[in-house]
Amino acid sequence: MLKLSNNTVAVFIKQLTSNIRQPVFLGLAGVWLVMGLVFAFFSDQHVSQYVSMFMVLIVGMQLTGVATSCVTEDRTTMNLRFMGMAGVKPRQYCTGTFAAVFLMAMFICVVYAVVGGYRGTNFFIFLGFTWLASAVSALLGITMGLSKWPWLTTPVGMLLGLAPMIAAMNENMEDIFRFLYTLQIRRVMDYMAIRAEEEIYEHICEYCGEIVMCIKDEAEDVVEILAGRGMMEEAIIVTLINGAIVLGLFIFMHRKYGLNG
């Protein structure tokens, strides 16, 4: 059984309490969810479309910022140094902070999945992808917080959160941003959002001969191709590679700066 040190638990409780007392993260997630419901009410699109859009913003942009602000708060109040003097190891601090941020993200993802109408296998696929992406974002945020340039979190978060929307407008941009995990998550969620309502068929493309995933239109004689069969695999691989890069950066910052920033 995993045994957590007192220090890790103390940091975890503090970060969680801080975020509940200053509910920027949880509050914004709630506001966006309400906005999604309102948009869905006034449009003919399913709520899952809006849920996936806001989920990407939360995971890519908001979560990264929250993780960074947890660290910078401890830096500006000098508590990072006090904790260091009290014997809190950088790894204990980072574990406690990561656990608190990730726990909140997990909770938000579950709420979004339920409200977005994801059921059965879709529910678990949704959670699997969003939790994986949340872990990458939380680690990235902590890494930025430990660095000498925490202000970079805002542009990086904006890039991660907004890239999928920019990519939707331009194919060239999509080719560039497809290496970002947030774009991959968006693609999976878009696919899932449709899948929540429609029956998906595997279909041999008459032009390229490859197996693709598609839905039939009402007349059931025309198929709309949703994605290549390897979409899920690509999304997992890209997210894991992104995660590995962030982990590498984190180890570098952690070793270089510790808790001293």
Partner 1 sequence: MIVMKDIYKSFKEKTVLDGINLEVKEGEILALLGPSGAGKTTIINILTKWLEADSGDAEILVGQNEIGIMLDSGGLYTHLSCLENLDLYARIYDLPKTRAMEVLESVGLGDDAKKAASELSRGMFQRLALARAILYSPKVLILDEPTSALDPGTARSVCKLLQEIREGGTTIFLTTHNMDEALKLCDRVALLFEGKIVKQGNPVEICEEYRAMRTVPDLEAVFLELTGVSL
Q: Does 134 bind partner 1 (CB under 8 A)?
A: no
* CA separation for the pair 53, 62 (Å, rounded): 13
* CA separation for the pair 18, 165 (Å, rounded): 31
Q: Does 26 bind partner 1 (CB under 8 A)?
A: no
Contacts of 108 (CB under 8 A, 6+ apart): 25, 26, 29, 58
Most distant pair of Cα atoms in the chain: their distance = 71
Q: Does 195 bind partner 1 (CB under 8 A)?
A: no
43 or 77: CB nearest partner 1:
77
18 or 154: CB nearest partner 1:
18
Q: Does 27 bind partner 1 (CB under 8 A)?
A: no
Could you give the string, one character per residue 58-87, with x where binding to partner 1 holds by CB under 8 A and - elsewhere?
A: ---------------x--xxxx-xxxxxxx
**3-state class of 118 per DSSP?**
coil
Cβ proximity of 185 and 61 under 8 Å: no
Q: Does 21 bind partner 1 (CB under 8 A)?
A: yes
Q: Measured from the CB of residue 62, what is the shortest distance to partner 1 in angstroms?
A: 19
17 or 170: CB nearest partner 1:
17
160: its two tokens:
């991660």
Q: Does 257 bind partner 1 (CB under 8 A)?
A: no
Contacts of 141 (CB under 8 A, 6+ apart): 63, 64, 65, 66, 67, 68, 70, 71, 101, 153, 157
Contacts with partner 1 by CB under 8 A: the residue count is 23
Residue with tokens 């339920």: 114
Site for partner 1 (CB under 8 A): which residue of 13, 24, 240, 251? Answer: 13
Which helix (H) or strand (E) segment holds residue 96: the answer is helix 90-115
37 or 79: CB nearest partner 1:
79
Could you give the string, one character per residue 86-125, with x where binding to partner 1 holds by CB under 8 A and - elsewhere?
A: xxx-------------------------------------
Residue with tokens 């041999």: 204
177: its two tokens:
């941003």
Q: Does 170 bind partner 1 (CB under 8 A)?
A: no
Contact residues for partner 1, defined by CB under 8 A: 6-7, 9-10, 13-14, 17-18, 21-22, 73, 76-79, 81-88
